[in-house]
Amino acid sequence: MQGPSKDRIAKDTAFLQKRVFYGLPNLNIGYDSSLISHFDANSFSHVIDRCELLGIRIIGVEVFSNRIELLNVEISPEDGYEWVRRLVQRYKGQQNVSFSATYGVPKDVLESSATRS
C-alpha cells in the first residue's frame, strides 16, 4: 500500500496550520521535522477540540520531554477523541512536556476548505 503523495502531505500540512494550529505556539524548535508541530498540554487540548469540530482524525500521538526524550507513543485504540484527552490528562500537570500527532484529514474536508479559501 502506497502512502500519501508529497502534494497531499503539503495540502494536509497547510490545512492543519491554517485551520487547526492557528494561534497556538509551536514548541518544535528544530529537533523535529519542520512539518511537525509540537504543543504543550493546554494548546494540544485546543488542537483536539478543533480536530473534533472539523472531523479530523487523530491517528497517533507522541509525547516528548523538553530534553527531546520520547516519553510515550499511543496509536488510536478507538474511534473518537476521548482516548487522546485521557492521554493529555495523564501529562497535564507535568512541566516541559510536548505533544505531536499524526492526523487524518478527510479529502472532503480539504476540498471544502479549498473552496472557502
Evaluate whether residue 71 is within a structural domain.
yes
| pTM exceeds 0.85 for this model | yes
Q: Which residues contact 4 (CB under 8 A, 6 or more apart)?
A: 12
Does residue 102 carry a pLDDT above 70? Answer: yes
Evaluate whether residue 1 is within a structural domain.
no
Does residue 101 carry a pLDDT above 70? Answer: yes
Q: Which domain holds residue 81?
A: 6-112
- Confidence bin at 68 (pLDDT 50/70/90): confident
Look up residue 39 and give its DSSP letter.
B
| Structural domain total, the chain | 1
**Cross-strand pairs, 97:** 65
Rounded to the nearest integer, the mean pLDDT of the chain is: 88
Evaluate whether residue 103 is within a structural domain.
yes
Q: Residue 87: how many CB atoms within 10 A of its CB?
A: 19
Evaluate whether residue 117 is within a structural domain.
no
pLDDT at residue 79, as a whole number: 86
Evaluate whether residue 78 is within a structural domain.
yes
Q: How far is CA 53 from CA 17, 19, 36, 80, in A?
A: 15, 11, 21, 11
Evaluate whether residue 79 is within a structural domain.
yes
Evaluate whether residue 34 is within a structural domain.
yes
pLDDT, tens digit, for every residue of 22-61? 999 998 877 777 788 999 999 999 999 999 999 999 999 9
Evaluate whether residue 101 is within a structural domain.
yes
